[in-house]
Amino acid sequence: MAADICERFHFALCGMYYDAIGIFGYVNFLVDKTRGEIITTLLDGLQRLEYRGYDSAGIAIDDDSRNSTMIIREVGKVNGLREKVAATDLDSSVVFDNHCGIAHTRWATHGSPKVENCHPQRSDPSGEFVVIHNGIITNFQALKTLLTSKGFQFESETDTECIAKLFKHVYDTNLKAGITLDFNELTKQVLFELEGTYGLLVKSTHFPGEVCGTRKGSPLLVGVKTEKKLKVDFVDVEFFTEQQTNELLMATAQDNLRTSQSRAFLADDGIPMPVEFFLSSDPASVIQHTKKVLFLEDDDIAHIYDGELHIHRAKKSAEDTTVRPIQTLEMELNEIMKGPYKHFMQKEIFEQPDSTFNTMRGRLDFENNIVTLGGLRSFLPTIRRCRRILMIACGTSYHSCLATRSIFEELTEIPVTVDLASDFLDRKSPVFRDDTCVFVSQSGETADSILALQYCLERGALTVGIVNSVGSSMSRQTHCGVHINAGPEIGVASTKAYTSQFIALVMVALSLSNDSISKARRHAEIIQGLQKIPEQIKTVLKLEDKIKDLCNTTLNNQKSLLLLGRGYQFATALEGALKIKEISYMHSEGVLAGELKHGVLALVDDKLPIIAFATRDSLFPKTMSAIEQVTARDGRPIVICNEGDAIAKNEKVFATLEVPETVDCLQGLLNVIPLQLMSYWLAENKGIDVDFPRNLAKSVTVE
Ligand code: UD1
Ligand code: F6R
């Protein structure tokens, strides 16, 4: 079959509508659930994924006879889908003791979101095979041409639809040859034809109550809920040699036998027990049901039927591990809820005294000025010997690299470059075996950063992750790393992840140089500075009312804003500008203060709002000179300075926001907070849904 397709079509990356965002699936076995309850579980699961940003949503459930599948889809929010479901004449009282439902939120990166493009996508009008998918199928055009030639009629512009139709095609082709494939074996054959990335769930009228889930480059996990305590803490991976697979195929063809190496969730008496399975691309939608989860690895196929969870491999490789642990998620539901705050972003800004503390917890010994990063310990000698350090990231995470580059170079004496992941790949930047590549990411799932990581892995460099999401692709694919432990970040605008990434990177620089006697004093100074940061952040957060006031008056309805910073504060200026534009839609630009006279000064007049970072460090006199250049052109800047600084009395300065003083290389941790608050209040004043800014998604899992 693969050869059949390959021969006739060359696989090309085609212009397409590709989708990604949230997958949720629910299977009950020996647990009676009404259709209404099943739908509520699916929709609630989707609602938990809302924070990632999406433009449409859909679900697929069984009809009463199970001979066809009902698909309900809607553009817009999950609540809109809820209304659409309520408006149907479905009998929600029908009880199922075994059922599989799947649900999806989609974020189209090309083309308009419309109902036909929503997931689930189906193989045919009766929904013999129904699929939800995150990722991109790169050979979709070739598959579509083949399937069209076989008589399939496509209904959408998505790449996903070809997966559903391919399932039917492979199933029917085998059937004609007298072979009835097991759902898992069928999935394996379909995957053989697919190129690209996927997190995938498929349900079928041929396999009622069953689901197959698989992933490649896109996350997928399975939560397991049983009434009695689970007695297993791992699931075996079921491998077969080619011969065994053929024998099995023959056997299944004859008797429709099931594999015997199952991982059933059995009660003490050996009888299958009631069990519920929750499949998702994100633990946030599972923890309200169960904390017991299993993370699938690339090329795993999870096949759930009769209350059993089987893990198969789509492809066998030498590095395959034989078990998948069932882990206990430490995340609490209330950790992902808003608490007393109106928006997640506001909550996360105010969480920073705690989140920064958590980043340092157990890693910094403030009495003896020692840093211990468990995840890096055994790699430190290799990193110290490397020729250069390449920091690679996107957006806010990139800014945290810029903010710490200087202290990295000062402490490690190793040259450090900082790259945006997309540009790094565009340039096909040279990477060598003796390079250390540091990848910084909140989500650990950002497509550009993952591609850059794979690029560096292929070239033999040592890769280090600085990641928030434990179990994310990046955290697992890097050789080693540091979890920043900031807790789940839900607001689309990254805030607490920035300050925690900043601290984690400083701690890495400290670890790398902890054998240097000449740096001992500087070390002690920084570690003592870090200890005070959480309390100092609390002080800065008290500026909220003053900032709110500025947003209501001077900054209200302005079209543009300049942020001036140099040295350590250039990164703060860039990060502040990014926050303001993404949340409040106001144009803002971070400018290196030293560059002002090389062009940007032309913009300055008595109207353009300007914010300057003038906290006390070695570059303070130079920053002051930039401020004078601005005031000489009637500009009236708002200045972020240290508490009690004389600049506050300068009448040419419009206002000051005074922040506590800390060590020069840590000052950016405090200076960024007024800008986070400013972006929040500028957006809130405009009535913008701060947690869901337009056109943006929390986790950018497409290139
Ligand atoms: C670990 C435990 C923590 C425990 C502590 C006790 C985890 C996730 N962390 O924290 O719960 O309290 O030991 O000593 O179990 N890694 C990567 N890439 C990344 C991030 C991390 O490969 O991007 C690796 C690290 O190299 C390490 C592991 O993941 O092997 C855990 O990293 P991290 O959580 O930072 O380690 P600890 O702080 O030691
Ligand atoms: C900005 C923001 C984005 C992310 C960027 C990288 O507030 O959140 O710029 O920083 O998309 O995401 P991660 O850190 O998840 O790789």
Identify the CATH number of the domain in which residue 680 sits: 3.40.50.10490
- Distance of CA 51 from the midpoint of ligand 1 (Å): 26
Same domain, 499 and 632: no
Residue 446 Cβ contacting ligand 2 at under 6 Å: yes
The whole-number average pLDDT for the span 21-46 is 96
Q: For 476, list phi and psi in degrees, rounded to 5.
A: -85, -25
Same domain, 574 and 443: no
Same domain, 565 and 685: yes
What distances in angstroms separate CA 51 from CA 105, 109, 502, 645, one per listed residue? 11, 17, 24, 41
Residue 6 lies in a domain: no
Residue 471 lies in a domain: yes
Same domain, 294 and 187: yes
Tokens 């340092």 correspond to 360
How does residue 17 score in pLDDT terms, banded at 50, 70 and 90? very low
Q: Which residue's CA is the closest to the ligand 1 atom numbered 5? A: 374
- Distance of CA 408 from the midpoint of ligand 2 (Å): 22
Smallest CA-to-CA distance from 202 within 98, 69, 330 is with 69
Which range of residues forms the domain containing residue 547? 543-703
- Confidence at residue 3, expressed as pLDDT on a 0 to 100 scale: 31
Residue 13 lies in a domain: no
Same domain, 257 and 362: no
Residue 247 lies in a domain: yes
Same domain, 332 and 363: no
- Confidence at residue 256, expressed as pLDDT on a 0 to 100 scale: 39
Residue 229 lies in a domain: yes
Last residue of a domain, one of 288, 313, 336: 336
Q: Which residue's CA is the closest to the ligand 1 atom numbered 35? A: 482
DSSP 117: G
CA distance 697 to 410: 36
Identify the CATH number of the domain in which residue 120 sits: 3.60.20.10
Which ranges in 238-338 belong to alpha helices (H)? 242-255
Residue 314 lies in a domain: yes
Record the pTM. 0.70
CA distance 45 to 350: 27
DSSP 297: P
Q: Residue 693 pLDDT > 80, yes or no? A: no
Q: Residue 270 pLDDT > 80, yes or no? A: no
Last residue of a domain, one of 491, 508, 541: 541
Same domain, 534 and 562: no
CA distance 242 to 248: 10
Same domain, 461 and 323: no
- Confidence at residue 1, expressed as pLDDT on a 0 to 100 scale: 33
The pLDDT tens digits of the residues spanning 490-506 come to 888 999 999 999 999 99
Same domain, 216 and 82: yes
CA distance 270 to 280: 29
Q: For 381, list phi and psi in degrees, rounded to 5.
A: -60, -40
- Ligand 2 pocket test, candidate residues 109, 345, 349, 396, most atoms within 8 A of CB: 396
How does residue 646 score in pLDDT terms, banded at 50, 70 and 90? confident
DSSP 558: -
Note whether 329 and 287 are within 8 A (CB).
yes
- Confidence at residue 702, expressed as pLDDT on a 0 to 100 scale: 63
Tokens 């059949």 correspond to 4
Same domain, 536 and 557: no
CA distance 667 to 407: 12
CA distance 305 to 210: 5
Residue 442 Cβ contacting ligand 2 at under 6 Å: yes
How does residue 19 score in pLDDT terms, banded at 50, 70 and 90? very low
Which ranges in 472-567 belong to alpha helices (H)? 473-477, 496-512, 520-541, 544-552
Note whether 440 and 575 are within 8 A (CB).
no
Pick the ligand that lies closest to the CA of residue 358: 1
Pick the more confident residue, 601 or 435: 435
DSSP 327: E
Residue 436 Cβ contacting ligand 2 at under 6 Å: no
Question: How many domains, in total, are found in the chain?
Answer: 3
Note whether 212 and 311 are within 8 A (CB).
no
- Confidence at residue 338, expressed as pLDDT on a 0 to 100 scale: 64
Residue 319 lies in a domain: yes
- Distance of CA 168 from the midpoint of ligand 2 (Å): 39
Residue 451 lies in a domain: yes
- Distance of CA 339 from the midpoint of ligand 2 (Å): 23
Tokens 């690209």 correspond to 196
Q: What does the DSSP assignment read for 441-473?
A: ESSS--HHHHHHHHHHHHTT-EEEEEESSTT-H
Same domain, 564 and 473: no
Same domain, 233 and 102: yes
3-17, 395-409, 625-639: segment of lowest average pLDDT? 3-17
* Proportion of the chain above pLDDT 70, given as a percent: 88
Last residue of a domain, one of 511, 541, 571: 541
- Confidence at residue 403, expressed as pLDDT on a 0 to 100 scale: 98
